[in-house]
Every structure is written in structure tokens, then in C-alpha cells.
Amino acid sequence: METHIWDVRAFKDNLHQYPYINDIKDTVIKGGLVAIPTETVYGLGANAKDEVAVKKIYEAKGRPSDNPLIVHVHHRKQLDKFVEHIDERVSKLMEAYWPGPISFILPLKSGYLCETVTGGLNSIAVRMPSHKIGRALLQVIDEPIAAPSANLSGRPSPTTFDHVFHDLNHKIDGIVNGDQSEEGLESTVLDCTQFPFRIARPGSVTKEMIEKVLPESVQDIHFTENEKPIAPGMKYKHYSPDTPLTIIENLNHKIDNNEKWKDTAFIFPESMKSLLPESAQFISLCKNAQDIKTANHNLYSILHSIDRSSDIQRAFIFGFEKKDQSEAIMNRMLKAAGNEIIKGDTL
């Protein structure tokens, strides 16, 4: 299949003037798959009412069919058709953080969306992206758009056009090129089907940010091995680069310079560069250990780049201290590293 490329970067502020805007719209309306930029990661979009189109998302990604998709809207009114009701408390959170990087799991009103979107569940995850191009596309198409991250299942999520192209060229109808995603990590997924709410996937809208709007509204959860995860997606292998990756915690001394580091990348804050061996390859994660926003933005791009570099055989990455703001990045890093963590003093 030929994958169309729509480079809309020059039309960021006036997408309706892009000459091929109707081609993008028609492709989606006719049941095609189009990757679209959002502020978190690129999404692989299809009309959420079209069973055949939604099934193609699962095929293109190689995604297990019991893992439900997030439905994207440009206006809250759209939710009336497929959400049973929106509680006052959820409404407050939507006012505070939409459009933006948080998805809400809400009770489903059945009959409007196709069944495959929810994987047979009676709830539905919804999000209104803030990305200028992404949001304008949703307005133009004006249908609820089911969109998981636009990567092959089990690979790091895509934050640039190149990442999407690499994973999905020839597998989907088109890709909208809209620059690098600012946030860089997938949205927070908040399960609002019971109170207190539960964070099914941490993201850049943190527990503290949610509780600033609604005090004591988020239940702390600790999964045990046997417990069923709230987001079905959390049980699958995720975000894994092919290059072996290990997290380093508490590095307080200079690592000896040694030829053995020649094929190794250290993905660290710039402020810690002097502690790393000169023979290794340094990759900048962010400015310093407090600069979590930049690290979120860069993480997936770096994971993609280490796999494409033939002279990197393994990588070590800086582990952030546990706090509200670092929860999302540590969640993704732990998955990418298959939970491999070592202490700095062992090096």
C-alpha cells in the first residue's frame, strides 16, 4: 500500500488553507488509517464508528484485540453520543486540563461507536488533544477518532514523523507530518468509572495536579503480580528498544575511563557529563536532574536513535528520584529497561 505523506508544518496556524486538507478528511471518512500528530505522541487515527477501519488499526500495529483504544474529540458535545454521563468532578478536571494530555475512562453509552474500539468493555477512554494541527484535523474530520500511539505494538511510541514512517510506511493510508510532539510521553489515563479515581497510566498530568483540582480524589494503587491491571494495555510488553537498556540510580562518583565503554551510550543529564567515561557515547537526556519536562520530551526519540545507531551495543540511562513529576517517565523507563536497575556505585 502506498502511504501518503501530508507535510502540513507550514500550515500550523491555518490548517484549513492546506491545499490537501480534504484528501486527509476523505481518507478517514472512507475508512482509511491516518497517523496524526498530537502533543503527547503521534496517534494512528481511524473513524471510531467504523468497525472495519478500527480493525485495521489492530492489524497495522500488531496489537492484541482486547486492548481498547482512546477516542479523540475536538469538542465536549461529541461525547454526548457515546458517554453515559459526565460527573461534576470529571467535568471540573476536563475544564482544568482539556484540551491536553489526559484521557478519562468513562461509562460507555453503547450503540454509537463500533464495538472493537472498547475491546468489549462497557467503558470508554476519551481525550481532547491540545496540539494545534491535531486538534484542527479533528475539527475538520468532525468524527470521533480512535487513535492508539502510531507505532508497532511493543516498540517505543512515536514522537516524530520519522518514527511513524519507520514503523508504519506501506501499512497505513497516510501520515500527517506536524513536527515533534512537545510532551513526548503518552497521556495520563484516569479511570473515572469509580470514586476515588485511579490512575491507569501515569502521564504529565500528575496525581498532584489532579488533586489540586479535586482534593483526595485519586486512589493510590499498588499492583500485585496477580491483580488485573486497570488499563488492559499495561499487561503487555511495552516501549522496548532492541538495544539492552539499564537504569542507573545514585551515581555519585566518576566512572573510570576504559575501552570497554566504547560501544556503550550513557543517556544522562548534561550536568552529570563529567562523571561519565570519555570513551563512552554521551546522549543528553535533559539539562539536570530536575529537568523532567525535557527528559519526557526526549525519551522516546533517544530510544529510537540508539536502535538505529550501529555503534551502540548497550545503553545506561539516568534514573530520576521518585516523586510526583517523575512518575510517568520512570514508568516508561522501567518498561523500556525490562526493570533492569543498578546502583551507580557498582560501576
**Residues in the site for ligand TXA, rule: CB under 6 A?**
38, 40-41, 43, 67-70, 103, 105, 118, 121, 123-125, 127, 147-149, 186-187, 189, 200-201, 230-234
Cα 134 to Cα 32, 139, 148, 178, distances in angstroms: 17, 9, 14, 8
Q: Which is nearer to Mg ion, 261 or 297 (CB)?
A: 297
Residue 118: name its binding partner from Mg ion, ligand TXA, none (Cβ under 5 to 8 Å by kind): ligand TXA
Q: Which is nearer to ligand TXA, 40 or 298 (CB)?
A: 40
Taking the complex as a whole, how short is the minimal distance between the CB of residue 241 and Mg ion, in angstroms? 15
Taking the complex as a whole, how short is the minimal distance between the CB of residue 347 and ligand TXA, in angstroms? 34
Buried b (16+ CB within 10 A) or exposed e, 193-220: beeebbbbbbbbbbbebbeeebeebbee
Region of 179 on the Ramachandran plot (φ > 0 left; ψ -120 to 50 alpha; else beta): left
- CA–CA dist 298, 184 (Å, integer): 7
Residue 232: name its binding partner from ligand TXA, Mg ion, none (Cβ under 5 to 8 Å by kind): ligand TXA
Q: Which is nearer to ligand TXA, 99 or 277 (CB)?
A: 99
Q: Which is nearer to ligand TXA, 155 or 251 (CB)?
A: 155
Taking the complex as a whole, how short is the minimal distance between the CB of residue 318 and Mg ion, in angstroms? 23
Contact indicator for 117, 56 with CB cutoff of 8 Å:
no
Q: Which is nearer to Mg ion, 201 or 312 (CB)?
A: 201
Residue 69: name its binding partner from Mg ion, ligand TXA, none (Cβ under 5 to 8 Å by kind): ligand TXA
Taking the complex as a whole, how short is the minimal distance between the CB of residue 223 and Mg ion, in angstroms? 19
The residue nearest ligand TXA at its CB is: 233
Residue 125: name its binding partner from Mg ion, ligand TXA, none (Cβ under 5 to 8 Å by kind): ligand TXA
Q: Which is nearer to ligand TXA, 102 or 267 (CB)?
A: 102
The residue nearest Mg ion at its CB is: 149
Taking the complex as a whole, how short is the minimal distance between the CB of residue 57 and ligand TXA, in angstroms? 9
| Cell reading at 265 | 551510550
Taking the complex as a whole, how short is the minimal distance between the CB of residue 329 and ligand TXA, in angstroms? 14
The residue behind cell 459526565 is 86
Provide the residue type at 241 as one letter. Answer: P
- CA–CA dist 58, 258 (Å, integer): 46
Which ranges of 83-192 would DSSP assign to H, the alpha helix? Answer: 88-97, 132-141, 161-168
Rounded to 10 degrees, the C-alpha dihedral 147/18/175/45 comes to 10
Return the bridge partners of 47, or none.
145
